[in-house]
Amino acid sequence: MKLKILGMGCAKCSKVESNVKDAVKELGLDATVEKVEDVKEIMSFGVMATPALVIDGKVAFAGKTATTKEIKSMLEIASK
């Protein structure tokens, strides 16, 4: 599973990054987590609000500080 966190380095984006890492660890998933800060790449996903999470090329959420719990349920759905 490939995870991308889109954000230009604000506090909320780092919060989401650590929540995603926690979620991956707690679920024991085999996933790569990458942080995307380049605005062109962020825009290529079509999101207009950050932080956003991309799971295997699909935007899972945009513009909210999702909790570890919320991210876990998204990852569980995506990994099925």
Backbone angles phi, psi at 25, to 5 degrees: -65, -45
Which residues, at least 6 apart from 58, have a Cβ–Cβ distance to it below 8 Å?
78
Judge whether 37 counts as a catalytic residue. Answer: no
Q: Among residues 28, 30, 32, 46, which is the contact residue for other proteins, using CB under 8 A?
A: 46
Q: Could you give the 3-state DSSP secondary structure of residue 62?
A: strand
**Are the beta carbons of 74 and 55 closer than 8 angstroms?**
yes
Q: Quick check: 19 binds other proteins (CB under 8 A)?
A: no
Q: Pick the closer one to other proteins by CB: 12 or 35.
A: 12
Residue 18 engages other proteins in binding (rule: CB under 8 A):
no
Residues that bind other proteins (CB under 8 A): 7-13, 39-40, 42-51, 58-59, 62-65, 67, 70
